[in-house]
Amino acid sequence: MVVGFNHNIHYKGESFHVQTEDGGTRNPFITTLLYHGGSIVASKKTGYSDIIKVEMLGKVVEELMQEQHKDMLRRLKAGEFDERAFPGHSSSADSQQLPAQSPSPTAPEPGPELRQSLDEIILDYLASDVNT
């Protein structure tokens, strides 16, 4: 039985940590926490006492944990927690852009694979439904 999942993710230049744990059959809850700078930004707790007696409970709980963990990653990437994670940053400030600079004639335009950091690629993978 899997006890939990942990991922460190970079989002908008900041580090976040997503942690999902199973309380076990004596405390049948799956808890996912999203941390930023040591503080909890968001949490989700799901009980599963109603399915304790199903066959292959460990596999079922592991799948529930994976989905809840990926859901938190998706919600982070969708910007759902931006106001809590980045207090004091208004959406109007985010919409202000620097003037565009023309690319160097000798530097090729980076392909799509170079526009994302490794953390962003991993976040995209985890947030996709590839494993479901």
Q: pLDDT per residue over 61-101, tens digit each?
A: 999 999 999 999 999 999 999 999 998 876 544 444 444 44
Sheet with 39-47, side-by-side order of all strands = 4-11, 14-22, 29-36, 39-47
Percent of residues, the chain, with pLDDT higher than 90: 63
Q: Tell me how far apart the alpha carbons of residues 61 and 111 are, in angstroms, rounded to a whole number.
A: 39
Give the model's pLDDT for residue 2.
74
Give the model's pLDDT for residue 101.
45
Please state the separation of Cα 4 from the chain's center in Å. Answer: 14
Give the model's pLDDT for residue 18.
97
Is residue 19 within 8 A of residue 2, CB to CB? The reply is no
Res. 52: pLDDT tops 70: yes
pTM beyond 0.75: the answer is no
Q: C-alpha angle with apex 41: 40 to 47, nearest 5 degrees? A: 75
Give the model's pLDDT for residue 5.
94
Give the model's pLDDT for residue 131.
44
Res. 128: pLDDT tops 90: no
CB atoms within 10 A of CB 34: 23
Give the model's pLDDT for residue 87.
87
Buried b / exposed e along 9-28 (16+ C-beta atoms within 10 A): bebeeeebbbbbbbeeeeeb
> Lowest-pLDDT range, 11-15, 40-44, 105-109?
105-109
